[in-house]
Amino acid sequence: MIEILACGSGLSLQDGGRHGWRRYGVPAGGAMDARSMALANTLLGNAPEAPLLEIVQQGAKIQILQDMWLALAGGDFCSDFATGCAQPVAAGQRLIFDKKATGRYSYLALPGGVQADSWLGSVAVDVRNGMGLPIQAGSRIMSQGAQPTIVTPQAVARRIARDQQSHIPGQEIHLKLYRGPQFTSFSSVAQQQFITNEWSVSTRSDRTGYRLEGLVLEVPASIASEPVLPGSFQVPGNGQPIITMHDGPTVGGYPKIAVLADTDLDRLAQCVPGTKLTFSWQT
């Protein structure tokens, strides 16, 4: 068992998300960086999408209430526990997420996964849609198992190779995109400006959508509402693209100039505000 002393910039329960509900207007949600979630869980022998804690950058403080194993992957924000590692921790120990490092999300896994009630097949917290159990200071989190299934009594730690977390970007990132459903509705000038301009991630970005700041694009007429997938680049009336993320709406009426491949969503999710983005087209 662990206790949350402070949530810092953000802390929530996440897993692989709730699938099969988009046609009812329910987004899948789940871990923003599915790759780091799977790495943390794999270090303990958990299922890759087992429930765990998603921690946003700095400020979180966690008290260990009994001897146990933990695993951490994603952003290297904890002074007391290296990312990409599973190791035993002792009752009374504190984990303080106070380091500045690249990335936006860190994932803390417990043996067997976190115990939590399921909402539509997932424990994932989706504040915007009112699903999942919010975490706050004083919350106590229990694991489903007492010990990892993959660690022998003689082991002192397990680590993953550094290059397995190489998807976490620095201050700049280049992404290859597919042309969106309404790409041809944009003028040739706007199409060219979108690809040649450098964009930056706005401070107003969250689990719903990452807003981009840069040159103002000429926007075509609104469209009838239609399905929107995570990774869709919608362009509202202000000409500044918004990338739909995991908790974003399932339908929308803004024209979509581009779509990001699912395999690159983890890289995008780890981009902090101010990260510079450039794009090119998938061939």
Q: How is residue 39 annotated by DSSP?
A: H
Instruction: Say if residue 195 is in the same domain as residue 243.
Output: yes
Please state the rounded mean pLDDT for residues 186-204. Answer: 96
Instruction: Say if residue 223 is in the same domain as residue 184.
Output: yes
Instruction: Say if residue 86 is in the same domain as residue 200.
Output: no
| Closest C-alpha to 246, from 6, 12, 7 | 12
The three-class DSSP label of residue 32 is coil
Per the listing, tokens 């067997």 go with 112
The predicted pLDDT at position 21 comes to 93
Q: Which distant-in-sequence residues (6+ apart) come within 8 Å of 187 by Cβ?
A: 218, 220
Q: What's the token pair of residue 121?
A: 């097949």
Q: CA-to-CA distance for 79 and 168, rounded, in angstroms?
A: 19
Mean pLDDT of the chain: 93
Instruction: Say if residue 50 is in the same domain as residue 185.
Output: no
Instruction: Say if residue 111 is in the same domain as residue 186.
Output: no
Residue 15 · residue 50 · CB < 8 Å: yes
Of 119, 142, 165, the one marking the end of a domain is: 165
Of 112, 132, 165, the one marking the end of a domain is: 165
The backbone region for 147, taken as left when phi is positive above 0, alpha when psi lies in -120 to 50, beta otherwise, is: beta
Instruction: Say if residue 160 is in the same domain as residue 179.
Output: no
CATH code assigned at 193? 2.40.100.10
Domain hosting residue 29, numbered range: 2-165
Of 165, 199, 229, the one marking the end of a domain is: 165
Instruction: Say if residue 130 is in the same domain as residue 35.
Output: yes
Per the listing, tokens 């976490």 go with 168
Total domains in the fold of the chain: 2
Q: What is the pLDDT of residues 59-104, one digit of tens each?
A: 999 999 999 999 999 999 999 899 999 999 999 999 999 999 999 9
Q: What's the token pair of residue 179?
A: 């042309």
Instruction: Say if residue 117 is in the same domain as residue 89.
Output: yes
Please state the rounded mean pLDDT for residues 30-44. Answer: 96
Q: CA-to-CA distance for 141 and 110, rounded, in angstroms?
A: 9
Q: What is the pLDDT of residues 196-254, one digit of tens each?
A: 999 999 999 999 999 999 999 999 988 999 999 999 999 999 999 999 999 999 999 99
Please state the rounded mean pLDDT for residues 100-127. Answer: 94
